[in-house]
Amino acid sequence: MISQINLTILAINIILCICPTIIFLIYSLIKNKSLFRPFFVGVITFFVSQVIIRSPINTLMFSDFPNQNDVTWSYIVFIVLTAIILEEGGKFLGLKFFLKEHTKRIDGIAFGIGFASGYNILFSLISHISKFSLALNANDPDFMSFMNISKMDMETINSIHMLSQTSWHNFLLSGLHNIAFLLIEIALTLILLHGILNGIKHSIIAITINSFSHIFFIEGIELFFTEILKINEYTVELYLIFISIISLIFIITSKKLKSFK
């Protein structure tokens, strides 16, 4: 049985995944339709760089992962490098060449929301819906009797067991992860846009800052904590939320930058 509080939080996680995107699109439709362009350029940038290019490359290079017993350093380095080259390279091309007339701070925010929405909807939303659906079925006696336990595949059995054993705060942190990712991506986009608006030198500095973020704030540190140091995901999620708070502060104060005035 899945507790009622876990079911509620799983439902909230679905809302957290899609609400920022829906709210932004409604705002754009009512207040500023020109924001649709940077938003969808951000979505397309995510889809091309992450789904079409990066994911197949990672799968090809590590086709047996995650069946490996241990995550190797080579895996972590490769994952971080592909993120830096393809993600930041894709953002740079999108902002530099496809948004020449959309260089305001709000355009950078729209691009960042679009990029993060691609991830949150394509990956996280599907995962949250799948968990919520499985949790509802696990609490349904008719379903469980129909799906006799002996006829279930091991993956389904393990998933139900995981859902029943996971604490409510871990589920909540999983949902907050999407908001954290959104804020971090907006901040990184604003850093990159600021660099582009100030020439090649500042662009290089911005790309360097964003590259280090993938090492210390996103993929690199997450894999290092969970797979090398074996720190539980609860601590890692709290760390990411802390970084997202810093990102939010930067987003708010970025309006003081000369490039965005």
- Rounded CA separation 183/162 (Å): 29
- Rounded CA separation 154/221 (Å): 31
- 24's CB contacts (< 8 A; 6+ apart) are 35, 39, 110, 113
Query: To which H or E segment does residue 261 belong?
Result: none
Q: Residue 125: how many CB atoms within 10 A of its CB?
A: 19
- φ, ψ (nearest 5 deg) of residue 104: -80, 165
- Nearest in space to 89 (alpha carbons), one of 81, 79, 77, 101: 81
Lookup result for tokens 């280090």: 212
Query: To which H or E segment does residue 167 belong?
Result: none
Query: Domain residue spans in the chain?
Result: 4-256
DSSP-H helix ranges across the chain: 4-31, 36-46, 55-61, 73-82, 89-97, 105-119, 126-138, 141-146, 154-165, 168-197, 200-216, 219-223, 233-253
- 188's CB contacts (< 8 A; 6+ apart) are 91, 112, 210, 213, 247
* Per-residue model confidence as pLDDT tens for the chain (261 residues): 678 888 899 899 999 999 999 999 999 999 999 999 999 999 999 999 999 998 888 888 776 554 544 556 777 788 888 888 999 999 999 999 998 888 899 999 999 999 999 999 888 888 889 888 888 877 776 655 555 555 555 666 677 777 777 777 888 888 898 999 999 999 999 999 999 999 999 999 999 999 888 877 776 667 776 666 667 777 888 888 999 999 999 999 999 988 886
